[in-house]
Structure 1
């Protein structure tokens, strides 16, 4: 029996060795892709696009992609309306390079007041990972030198945030995400990034190799203490 190999009718070869993200992105005309997964996000879209609109990085070098999942409000329709506005402005310099809206449901429902519960984090984070992978694989193409993950409910960031992050000159950089308290003080909200301590390293010695600390580490410590 002879082996047969089917050759696709369309074949694309991309040599990404020539792709280089630098600390001079404007001068080199480097494109950036901003990615945002969404669910029931209509209350946040106005501010989200307001912040995107004031970015100092050239709009013709910015592409934006959204993945809407398990939504019950008018998020998709609102995104289409905003895309129509920002892609058809009279002045071409005010138009983004591309805006894409994708929709894929994962049939995952979790009450808002339970989303940070420690016991539910593995399931919640697995759905988030699938969502991000779908969005990245669908929207990313060979023209993009940079990718920025941007949550829809962030209320403020500097106009120069893209240039600021690019200037660090590393492969991956994560800015601090802060929450303003009722007393006017700011505290660290994003618990997904931390520096290991002697205490955390000691805890990991007795854990299964596949165990991963997630948001809510204090809950885990309380569980240890109560057992």
Structure 2
């Protein structure tokens, strides 16, 4: 189970920060200026769209819910999009119970559950990934991203339900960096984390010295990396994100995997 360290990483897929000008419109009052309190304007927090995809995760959901509920962010500025299917454990009943308890705190909770079938065709076990499973996951992730755009969300914050981010201010921390795609670095009991430090010429994972330094926290800060996955934040106000997709693009030539298809899409969007 991964926990967030103090290090933060972001994807090099977007190296440019899109900067726009702000135009202030003022009205001059000839007399009787408004009381001082009228000039104290409170700005609402950006809206955040959080997709939750769960399958056979009854053992991690209580921990995931705990960290999610403790986020130091206004829940009425958060939209939850929850999908669950192909589960043989108590995942769906647990989701139903949790939604019933907390839905009124959030801006919107959109959910859909499929209790049958419980397994994929040709699936050899819960850790097996036949192409049907990858295709379904890619479709769900892409639907979530499109729905975030449809509801005009400012940010898309995706977390796998076996990722536990203990930092309560994580959304504000990530937003403050003003990156297009940014992720908190997750730690595990091994060198596994939610980013790649390098890729091969064919776009596959490559272990690098820089990766080890970051994971071991020999260095801290914000780092450019070729891929982030599992838990990350996308600023949907950046124009380049309109071209993001989890679907394989026509020139995609790697294995079918939602991490790889998304990274390829982001790289293409960053170059356009």
TM range (shorter): 0.5 to 0.7
Residue 67 of structure 1: aligned partner: 83
Question: Which has the higher mean CA deviation after the structures are superposed, 104-113 or 73-82?
Answer: 104-113
Larger % of strand: which? Answer: 2
Displacement of 1:82? 0.8
Is this contact kept in 1: 2:148–2:156, CA < 8 A?
Answer: no
Listed as ranges, the gaps of 5+ residues in structure 2 are 1-19, 21-41, 205-250, 258-272
**In structure 2, C-alpha distance between the alignment counterparts of 1:202 and 1:138, rounded to whole Å:** 32
2:253 to 200, 203, 211: 211
What is the TM-score of this pair, normalised by structure 1?
A: 0.61
Displacement of 1:53? 1.1
Larger % of helix: which? Answer: 1
2:181 aligned counterpart, secondary structure? coil
2:198 to 195, 198, 205: 195
Residue 228 of structure 2: aligned partner: none
Listed as ranges, the gaps of 5+ residues in structure 1 are 1-19, 21-25, 89-94, 182-186, 216-227
Which is bigger in relative contact order (C-alpha 8 A, separation at least 6)? 2
What is the TM-score of this pair, normalised by structure 2?
A: 0.52
Displacement of 1:34? 0.8
Deviation string 1:146-200 (CA, Å, 9 cap, x unpaired) is 111111111343111111221121222233332124xxxxx23335x4434xxx2
Displacement of 1:110? 4.9
Is this contact kept in 2: 1:67–1:135, CA < 8 A?
Answer: no
Residue 3 of structure 1: aligned partner: none
C-alpha RMSD over aligned residues: 3.3
Does residue 96 of structure 1 match 2:106?
A: yes
Aligned residues: 168
**In structure 2, C-alpha distance between the alignment counterparts of 1:101 and 1:140, rounded to whole Å:** 17
2:158 to 146, 149, 152: 149
